[in-house]
Structure 1
Amino acid sequence: MKIVARRAARRHGRAMDLDRYFARIGLHAPVSPDPAGLAMLQSAHRLAIGFENLDVMLGRPIRIDSASVFDKLVLRGRGGYCFEQNRLYADALGLLGLPASPLLARVRLGAAPGVTPPRTHVCLLVTIAGEAWFADAGFGGSNLPPLPLNDGASAQTSDGAHHRLRRIGEPGTLSGEWLLERAGAPDATDGRAAAHLDWQPQYTFDLVQVAQDDLEQGNHWTSTRPGTRFTTLHVASIPIAGGFASMVDRELTIHGPAGTERRSIGDASDYGRTLREVFRIELGDADAARLPLFA
């Protein structure tokens, strides 16, 4: 498997090294190319690589080519947001015999009624034995499982939340063809969920083909548009065993089986330590001190 994967990586011009990726996410062997393997890989990835936008806040460009993403998220131990996370995840899936195509989505979580958000989230369509599956290792709002692309498909995650897909419209419409929903504890999210346990929209998407330049355009908007969540707030989140952790600016929330813990971050040293210990994100103390939050 190692030799085949490395040859495939060279053939596709990719920087992916499956051995190092597996070490980063805590897997000791390749997963099987089936739904169980997809679920195992996505869970391991999400539990190991935190979601974050801190390079945006540091004024650094977000590069989403395979080599740059592998260097940042695997070799340097950083996290990233959807365009980075799902690039890395898709590269790994492809080498494991699970071809994945990107899809663009409109995030509905926390959006005001009547607002049509831009397509600034990327998720994946994975083909397994001729069947289409929805997958996403890069949604920072909550924990997500892979789901078969069927109307009403549902699953439960370790934080107790339920997730489901609904087919709601026609391809290309502003309302979207598919809707991903979640029902569960609001504390097991990044703070954008409404304060109830009922179904809430997460995002909508359709199956229109996406080009690399479409991804580059969405990533550029996400990382540079003034006044948005990613250009005004310092964001980090990660699923944890039985729960979810989120940090927005100085406010840390950790939700687990025993309840919810909240505290305020004291200084840059505390912030950097919390990134490492809770979110598994390696950001040096000098960079933490340079964040607008502390500068």
Structure 2
Amino acid sequence: MNDSTNEGRLAAYLSRIGLAKPPAPDAAGLAALQRAHRTAIAFENLDIPLGRPIEVASDPVFAKLVTGRRGGYCFEHNRLFRDMLGVIGFAARPLLARVHLGLPAGAMPPRTHILLLITIDDAPWIADAGFGGAYVPPMPLGEGGIVEGPDGAAHRLLREGAPGVLPGEWRLDRRAAGAEDWQPQYSFELAEVAEADLVQASHWTSTRAGERFTTQRILSIALPTGFASLNERTYKVTDGGSTTEREIADAADYRAVLVERFGLDLSEAEVAALGLF
């Protein structure tokens, strides 16, 4: 992208996420940008059951998430987020992670998640605008660091092992609001990642038979004081300390929830093609 394209895309992106101007390239600016991004652009994998390929290069991701006002999954969200961070003046690079959420202890899943390593005042931070299971605020990369999300859940970073070990060097855990136990979310290492690695990981995630993203329709979005998710027909909202959950009744109800909560305007034909009703 040339400079004029960068400026135009940044303006369109900021409008998409509801910010009047770019934040400063510091810790507060990073937090504000990721928060706005995740409350405006839904996490969703609906193109997979609709039979559409997932592209993770800058141009198609921008066209889908910004121009087309759709959502996406981690490789799309963090591609867009990384591009816009770079225009603003942040130094950011991708990391690959193994998602442990919902898996038994000791499982070794493949690296199918992307997060970002950000350098702020010569110190490393992690940021993630594309984790569908929860909202993880940006946090300094350090042993035992804890941050709290808008839904009251806490996240912490722990050393998983030495650099280069198979499980990864770091692990992110989550403790739900009011809970005592921490649950592993994902583990990662700090090795450099090539663009081809991201393409390969995304392709596996979006095409391998029997995996979560090829068998389920998944959506989530961060709320100002909570978090909302839609997994198949189960719609769950945690907001202001209370949680409600219900089953989506029919295709019309599903479309209404997509529009009202997730900002997605799918046609009747597209919703029918999801195969939920």
Q: Which residue does the alignment assign to 1:117?
A: 109
Distance 1:82 1:9 in 2: 27
Verify the 8 A CA contact 1:16 1:67 in the aligned structure 2: no
- Which residue does the alignment assign to 1:21? 13
Unaligned runs of 5+ in 1: 1-5, 187-195
The CA deviation at 1:284 is 2.5
Shift of 1:165: 1.0
Cα 1:157–1:183, aligned 2, differ >3 Å: closer, same or farther? same
What are the superposed Cα offsets for residues 148-195 of structure 1, whole Å, 9 maximum, x if unpaired?
111122111111111111122112212210011111149xxxxxxxxx
Aligned counterpart in structure 2 of residue 159 of structure 1, from 151, 156, 168: 151
Distance 2:4 2:38 in 1: 23
Who is 1:3 aligned against? Answer: none
Residue 97 of structure 2 is matched in structure 1 by: 105
| Residue in structure 2 matched with residue 205 of structure 1 by the alignment | 188
Unmatched segments (≥5 aa) in structure 2: none
Contact 1:103-1:206 within 8 A present in 2 as well: yes
- Counterpart among 206, 214, 221 of residue 238 in structure 1: 221
Task: Give the whole-Å Cα distance in 2 for the aligned partners of 1:258 and 1:154.
Answer: 20
Please report the TM-score for the alignment, with normalisation by the length of structure 2. 0.96
Which runs of structure 2 are paired with 1:1-295 in the superposition (5 Å)?
Answer: 7-8=2-3, 10=5, 17-185=9-177, 196-257=179-240, 259-294=242-277
CA offsets 1:93-144 (integer angstroms, 9 cap, x no match):
0000002100000001111222100000000001112111100000000011
What TM-score comes out, normalization by structure 1 length? 0.90
**When the two structures are aligned, how many residues end up with a matched partner?**
277
**Percentage of matched positions with identical amino acids:** 53
Deviation readout 1:8-41 (Å, 9 max, x if unpaired): 364xxx7970111011111011100100000000
| Contact 1:105-1:203 within 8 A present in 2 as well | yes
Residue aligned with 1:59, SS: coil
Root-mean-square deviation (CA, aligned residues, Å) is: 1.6
